[in-house]
Amino acid sequence: MDITEKVLEKLQIQVLKDGSCDCNDEECIGCFWPCESCQSNKCGHLCRINRGWKYEVWERQGRSDK
């Protein structure tokens, strides 16, 4: 259980359990700096907790694979 899931459980917040990183790579274990709010490395520029939207596209500069 990552820190995001612990915070969600503690606050009794239910969200979709996709667990995917904001980069939208299903196999990513987290590629961002730790979130200031929940310490998860799967949050982009805004914390995923209680966020009502999800990134559709994430463009990585300097990489040819995505």
Give the pLDDT confidence of 2-57 residue by residue, as tens digits. Answer: 787 788 778 776 554 557 888 888 788 888 999 999 888 999 889 988 888 888 87
| Pairwise pLDDT comparison (59 vs 30), residue with the higher score | 30
Q: Is residue 42 part of a domain?
A: yes
Q: Is residue 44 part of a domain?
A: yes
The range of the structural domain enclosing residue 30 comes to 1-48
Nearest partner of 34 among 42, 26, 25, 46, judged by Cα = 42
Which residue in the block uniquely carries the two structure tokens 């979130």? 35
pLDDT at residue 64 above 70?
no
SS3 46: coil
Using CA atoms, how far apart are residues 52 and 59, in angstroms rounded to an integer? Answer: 21
Q: Is residue 36 part of a domain?
A: yes
Q: Is residue 10 part of a domain?
A: yes
Structural domains in the chain (count): 1
Q: Is residue 26 part of a domain?
A: yes
Nearest partner of 34 among 2, 66, 10, judged by Cα = 2
